[in-house]
Amino acid sequence: MPVTGKVAINRRIYLNGIDFTGTSTSQTLSIGFEAADATVMGDTTKVSVPGLMTAEVSLAGYVTEGATGSDATLKTLSGTAVYCTLGTDTNASGETAYIIKGNGFSYNMPQALGEIPTYEFEVLPDQVEGVVRGTVLLDATSNLTASGVGTGRQLGAVASGESIYAMLQILSAGGTTFNAVIQSDDNAGFSSALTRASFSEVTTGSGSQYILPVAGPFTDDYWRVSYTIVGSGPYKVHIVMGID
């Protein structure tokens, strides 16, 4: 099978509305399962079956100083709620991205003589879903100054037992208010679009939001973001939606 992956050059990661791409050197997503012992009498080899799922996101990079530097920011995120969006490429619209609602569990800052100080930060999920694989519906490559809609994506229907998940990263906010909703329809033209989930209103500052799972089934298979801006903006936001 030929290799189709891209060399990691500009993989973006957002934590609570803060872009760590400019300081990070590596980003690691780990998904696994605890090994539950299933060995019984007569077995000559220990038998294991998948137990509870485990997941974590870790990032490493170079320390930057100051009130808004990586050191001060990661110290603040330690031991508190962290909303993480991890891109598989540049986090552009239509690309795959992972969303993790969790907590900052560890922050390390190794320092060695003659070398630039580095950081290591770990996020563990606090939701039963662990990690959700989704699609970028609205990217943060441009400043939004007027109401509009994102590109519609055919992500598929939501079966019974599945839910939709969405995460909003607010990298910068201006104007008066910003409101965004997730819409679905059965056609690419969204002639009869229905709102399936709504984010809370955004005013100023950076931050992030996570929509609690919205249970299916939904037969619509096209999805998009519709947003309303009051005031001139600009707003720089990033929205990912997943079905799981």
Beta strands in 88-173 (DSSP E): 96-108, 118-125, 132-138, 148-149, 153-154, 163-172
Using CA atoms, how far apart are residues 30 and 32, in angstroms rounded to an integer?
Answer: 7
Two tokens at 134?
């989704």
User: Among candidates 121, 132, 79, 67, which has minimal Cα distance to 103?
Assistant: 79
Yes or no: domain 134-243 corresponds to CATH 2.60.120.1110: yes
User: Among candidates 123, 31, 39, 30, which has minimal Cα distance to 74?
Assistant: 123
Structure-token match 């930057």, residue found: 64
Tell me the Cα Rg of the chain. Answer: 20
Q: Is the pLDDT of residue 50 over 90?
A: yes
Two tokens at 126?
């606090």
Contact assessment for residue 216 and residue 159, using Cβ atoms and an 8 Å cutoff: yes
Prediction pTM value? 0.91
Q: What is the mean pLDDT of residues 209-231?
A: 94
Residue 49 Cα distances to 15, 45, 53, 158, angstroms: 34, 13, 12, 29
pLDDT band at 128 (very low <50, low <70, confident <90, very high): confident
Looking at the chain, the domain(s) classified CATH 2.60.120.1110 span: 134-243
Residue 194 Cα distances to 30, 182, 240, angstroms: 35, 8, 18
Q: Is the pLDDT of residue 37 over 90?
A: yes
Q: What is the mean pLDDT of residues 78-95?
A: 91
Highest average pLDDT, of 82-91, 169-178, 217-226, 230-239, comes from: 217-226
Using CA atoms, how far apart are residues 230 and 6, in angstroms rounded to an integer?
Answer: 39
Using CA atoms, how far apart are residues 123 and 121, in angstroms rounded to an integer?
Answer: 7
Give the model's pLDDT for residue 198: 96
Per-residue pLDDT tens for 174-185? 878 999 999 999
Give the model's pLDDT for residue 185: 98
**Tell me, what amino acid is at 143?**
N
